[in-house]
Amino acid sequence: MNYYNMLLHLNTQNFLLDFHVIFPDIFCIQIIVKIQPQTVAKIVLFTCLFIALLAYYYNYYIITHEAGGLDTKMSVSPQFFLHKSRVPATASVIFLHGLGDTGVGWHQAFDELRKNHVRYIFPNAPSIPVTMNGGFVMPAWYDLKGLGPNMVEDKKGIEASAAKIRELIKTEMDEHNIPSNRIMLGGFSMGGALALYTALTHPQQLGGVIALSSYLPLHKAFASGEGGISLTAQKCPIFQGHGTSDPMLPFQFGQMSNMLLQNARKDLNLTTEFKPYQGMGHQSCDEEMDDVKTFIAKCLP
């Protein structure tokens, strides 16, 4: 599995770039640069962005040009990557990537986890300016203005992306005859946040939710019941996984989201699992992916 995380922090006095290219089980490169004057900073920025683009397009080429010869059940479109079921489908998993990424990396990651009767859909987020990254345009499900439990959130953007995911759910139901309680939502980081929000506000019961290295967006609205939204209307099982050494979305942030969910759902005896992964940063690992595989098998037998 290959995936990329990029965070850029810009201001008029200093330049800070925290750029990660992660190839799990091979190596990890982390470059942190704090430079003045601005001209040197720009050179470093464009060099790193060029490397990131090369890495992404290399992997996109592998998926679109080479993988087809190995797996005729794989499909690619500008909107999503897809693992078709090997037998007539009776369940679907819709998994959402994180900020600055696309569905390609998670498409690869799930290749070894696939169940024969399950369709796996990996949508691509639109490219939009992200406030936290100085307005830089990148794939994102909604605008991100900061990180933390008290950050200002892009409610309109979150709701718009949730509506798009509902369209995918409806397509699975209408075109592939998959009942809603056999459709699972999941995601990593921002994608996990959107999966949680979409599931908890979805009018039909779903098959489960996976939220990796993530958080519950608009948590204050859920806590207050604003707009009629509720933490208990959706009865499906929830699995959250989070690294204890996550530098981007701190472990405590994911833990707080889980506590909110647990407190609301415990009296109804609903499954709300939270598993820490010792020493893991803002990424996934083999142990977590094994747990994801087990969760899917349990919820979508």
User: Which among 114, 141, 112 has a CA at the least distance from the CA of 128?
Assistant: 141
Domain ranges of the chain: 73-299
Question: What average pLDDT does this structure show over 60-64?
Answer: 41
The DSSP bridge partners found for residue 82 are 75, 121
Residue of 189, 213, 214, 257 marked active site: 189
**Catalytically annotated residue among 143, 154, 246, 291:** 246
Q: Cα Rg for the chain, rounded, in angstroms? A: 19
> Could you confirm whether 219 is annotated as catalytic?
no
Residues 6+ apart with CB under 8 A from 184: 91, 92, 93, 94, 206, 207, 208, 209, 210, 236, 296, 299, 300
Q: 38 with 132: CB under 8 angstroms?
A: no
| C-alpha–C-alpha distance, residues 263 and 286, integer Å | 30
DSSP letter assigned to residue 237: -
Told to judge if 107 belongs to the known catalytic residues of this protein, a careful annotator would answer: no
> How confident is the model at residue 156, as a pLDDT?
94
pTM (two decimals)? 0.76
18-27, 172-181, 286-295: range with lowest mean pLDDT: 18-27
Percent of the chain with pLDDT over 90: 57
Give, in words, the CATH class of 73-299. Answer: alpha beta
Contact (Cβ atoms closer than 8 angstroms) between residue 277 and residue 243: yes
Whose CA is closest to 109, among 296, 298, 248? 296
Sign for the pseudo-dihedral over CA of 195, 198, 201, 205: negative
Catalytic residue among 107, 282, 284, 291: 282
CB contact burial 95-128 (16+ within 10 A = b; e otherwise):
bbbbbbbbbbbbbbbbeebbbeebbbbbbbbeeb
Pairing of strands 127-130, 136-139: antiparallel
Please tell me which residue, 135 or 53, carries the higher pLDDT value.
135
Q: What is the pLDDT of residue 52?
A: 56
Question: Is residue 174 annotated as a catalytic residue, yes or no?
Answer: no
- DSSP characters over 38-66: HHHHHHHHHHHHHHHHHHHHHHHHIIIII
